[in-house]
Chains A and B, each alone.
Chain A
Amino acid sequence: MTSSIELDICNFATKLLERRGGLVEWKDPNEGTAIVPAEMADLFHADSETVQLSTQPGKEGWCLNLATDFLDTASRLLELEPRVGTFCIQEIYLKRGDFEELVHREFSWLNARVRLQETRSVRVEYHTWWFHALLVSEDRWEKRFPITVNASSGTEVKMPNLLDLWELEPHPAACQQPPTTYQQAVLRAQHQVQELAGEFLDRMDGRLGRDRRRLREYYNALLRESHHKKSRGQTKLDPEKQVARERAVKLEMRRKATELDERYAMDLTLEPVVLTRMEIPVLAVDLSVERKRARRKHTVYWNPLLKQLEPICCTHCGCGTFSVAFTNEEVDPLCAKCS
């Protein structure tokens, strides 16, 4: 039986080795041969440039298996592969029609008068950051997920996987300017982790609660015992010793509780794995916002891939929102929560 994971590893190995100048041939799903450049053979500590590949441990050559260090070595080969891709979609259908009505249907303006000024076709860059998120506490949780940010508005947009789009075209010109969305993507990724790791976080909370409870019960029992504890040969309780004992128990309980909290404290690592920069034609909808005496222009975008208007980015928390309030003087948009 060849598992789908074994097939996935074999496919991955084949693509990687061939990309770096190797040649791979599979005799059957479990065994194959690779001819690799000398430097690659060195990297994998192979004696010759012809290497046997197998999914089974114990066979001669390289074992392509989750249990071996193949993936670790592969990561060194992958260092040579770029992680930032630049693409575009040249043509796509853009909506025509009544945006005034659409804007007012989609958005709730909580404290300002908003009027549509104009609609124009523009090209906007979307940055999709693929993160590897790792939460480490008493246990660990990890996940890989994308965060896509509209580079013009800073709004997180829930886009389909752009690498799957058939309309995708190379677009080297996109990389003239460095991307500006990383920090916003990290912020949104944190929120994403809170959602995705909900069960894990609940479990850790539960465990900590349980351990705290046990700790309290244990030391409270010790305290109760200390009330009745007499030294050898004594017939009466010594109040001074009793107080000292109590103090020592309480001190230790505090120390243990601190240790417990430290043990459960979580580290969240967000490691960007890949960035795709994609330029897409969209419709920019310019809005005139009047808040008291202040007036300011804001732009919202109609996304042709989602076929809908994108939310506005809250200037306080960074989340995208369709219920928008504005600050008094700067007329900055805020989500309902932040307003």
Chain B
Amino acid sequence: MKNGIVSQSTLQTVLKEPLATELSTKGTQPKVVWKTSGGIPVTLRSPSSGLSSPTTDDVESLLLHLEHTRLGLLRGFDQLLCLEGLTGVEQLPHQIETVRKVLRHFRGRVLLADEVGLGKTIEACLLLREYLLRGLVKRVLILVPTPLVSQWHEELQSKFALEFSIPPKTATADKSEYWANTDLVLTSLPFAKSKRRADVVTAADWDLVIVDEAHHCKNRKTLNWKLVNSLKRRHLFLLTATPVQNNLLELYNLLTLLEPGHLKTETDFKKKYVRRGSPRDPLNRERLRSLLGEVMIRNTRSLVQMDLPPRYAQTLMAQPRDDEQELYRQLNDYLQERKIPLVVPDGNSGNIVEKDTIEKNDQQFPPLSRKQLSALLLASGSHPRTLAQSLENVAGEDERTGPIIELARRIKRSAKEEKLLELLGQNGHEKVLIFACFRRTLQQLQHLLDEAGVAYTTFSGAQSQQQKDAAVEAFRHEVPVMLCSESGGEGQNLQFANTLVNFDLPWNPMKIEQRIGRIHRIGQTREVFIFNLCAVGSLEAKLLDLLTEKIRMFELVVGEVGSILGNLDGGEEFESLVLNLWMQSHDDQELEHSFDAFGRSLLEAQEKYVQTKELDEALFGDDYE
């Protein structure tokens, strides 16, 4: 052996017992050499006698070995390239961990399902950058909800130094050349799926497709799902905080986009994993968990141990004046007349069915659909003017609506508006984000604030991207108030504000959670205050009472409410359940009783959630690590 290395000679004279003894035993037999502070034993395995190699005086030869090792390390993704050269990105350990995990184990196809506010976007951008820097992808398409296009664009550019092209709203974007020749494209899902463009977008080859808020693709009958499914791509990242909103089939649909066949056919999936009547509590949990673990990562707050500052919620009840009370009474009478009553059939099947409506068919106007009823009830909980407009749109030809519309228009300032002004008057210098479901309500609030001399900006789905960006900037730097439609509830980073007002309430608590998640998220350093406005005796007041008193929703961490709602029997969407309550009731007393009963169901659902929390963690929580 030429120049082979033999241990123990000179050093024996330098190093004394016990070190020399310790050294002499190493290499040949694995041995625990130290323990971590948590007590994990570390066993050393190394060759006993160094290198057995010919010698050289040529540096190049050695450098080749070292370079080979370095490149090998890069292949192992231990050393991430994406972390260099970032600007203003707070790299949280769970995000880095997720990036490594996707790179190592997921072969570029993953559902990133972190809870709201844990940084899915950051994870996706880090992954994207890593793939680009390593030359593993060149052509990338990012599909996001329309209101988030400019935010993504800005963040990709300023934080990750990635320049993406947003397709112009001209004929250029309808031509295949644009999509074939532009390597990095960022656009909205609605833009890409439009009839004029879907074919050219799907004709192009993509190395990587990223879909933000991917729950919009949970239904395989929608154009969203079909578009993503038909895109030619090697890698796919789906991002959503709520992969399962209503039932496990949604998860099946999303995962089928990622890895068709991973969960076999829909029939197989239902048979093996879906428990009838309990869509969020799967059968064969362990098997499903293992399958999900191959394609999905879900970081949860409890797992990441992220300490957010506390949040406090307060309900501000507004006592409606006589005219408002009269409005709600008239509306209620009218809607009661035009609804299809619901009955709970005998046999206690749990399913609520619409009562035979033959008796109503002789009337001039058919019963209102569930959708119409929901719209009107939601509008009534929002603002009288909004109600007037909705009523006109839905049932304008019915002359019985005339007095109601007239009455609604006569109300100049609602009790909730008064309450809002009172609240804003008490506000010091805090930035206040005011959410409302309807654009019409936003307009009314604009008038209100104008009259009251309160400076504000508005962010709504009706605005162009530039207007939206300008609104956020103005809110950040200039005005104390931002009026925000539901479209501002997704993805916008508004952590510089710490006060949120729900001027009206969506009936879906998940949407309320999304609203709160805009300011109660990573980057929020101050306590968060949430004010819920509602009129005394309104449907919203009952709903709020249910959410605050029964399940204490505003004290839950973001993400938990979904698990509780998922435990409700029947598997219907929450909005639908609320509407059922109203439809079943003929008067306020009955409605109270219905809500009480629903409250008990919710409480049971919460208890069930608490009991099965460990099981839920077994399904999703552990997939982080």
Contacts and interface: CB of A to CB of B under 8 A. Distances in A.
Interface of A: 1-6, 8-9, 12, 15-16, 19, 55, 65-67, 71, 74-75, 78, 81-87, 129-130, 132, 135, 137-144, 151-154, 163, 168, 170-172, 175, 178-187, 190, 194, 199, 201-209, 214, 217-218, 261, 264-277, 313, 315-318, 330, 332
19 contacts: A5-B133, A15-B60, A55-B135, A81-B61, A84-B51, A85-B55, A86-B57, A140-B78, A144-B69, A151-B10, A184-B11, A186-B23, A187-B22, A187-B26, A205-B39, A206-B38, A218-B614, A261-B40, A268-B42
- Most A CB within 10 A of own CB, among B26, B39, B56: B56
B441 to A, nearest CB: 45
B43 A82 contact: no
A130 B66 contact: yes
A217 B37 CA distance: 22
B53 A154 contact: no
Contacts of A75: 68, 72
A81 B10 contact: no
B40 A3 contact: no
- Of all A-B residue pairs in the complex, the 3 with the closest CB atoms, nearest first, are A205-B38, A170-B57, A182-B50
Nearest to B138: A1
A259 to B, nearest CB: 14
A55 B137 CA distance: 11
A315 B64 contact: no
Nearest to A30: B135
B625 A207 contact: yes
A316 B18 contact: yes
B135 A65 contact: yes
A59 B71 CA distance: 22
B62 A163 contact: yes
A208 B40 contact: yes
A154 B61 contact: no
B51 A315 contact: no
A222 B53 CA distance: 59
B132 A315 contact: no
Contact of A275 (B22, B50, B67, B68): B50
A6 B37 CA distance: 40
A20 to B, nearest CB: 10
A274 to B, nearest CB: 5
Contact of A184 (B23, B59, B62): B23
Contact of A266 (B40, B67, B70, B614): B40
- Most A CB within 10 A of own CB, among B36, B59, B138: B36
A35 B384 CA distance: 81
Interface residues of B, number: 75
Given A71-B68, A163-B59, A180-B11, 19 more contacts: A15-B60, A55-B135, A66-B74, A67-B75, A67-B136, A74-B68, A130-B65, A141-B78, A143-B73, A154-B10, A154-B14, A183-B7, A186-B27, A265-B40, A267-B43, A268-B44, A272-B50, A272-B51, A275-B5
A214 B63 CA distance: 48
Contacts of B37: 201-202, 205
B589 interface: no
Contact of A313 (B14, B44, B46, B136): B14
Contact of A153 (B14, B76, B132): B14
Interface string B338-372: 00000000000000000000000000000000000
B425 interface: no
Contact of B9 (A84, A86, A180): A180
Contacts of A138: 625
A185 B5 CA distance: 13
Contact of B136 (A66, A135, A318): A66
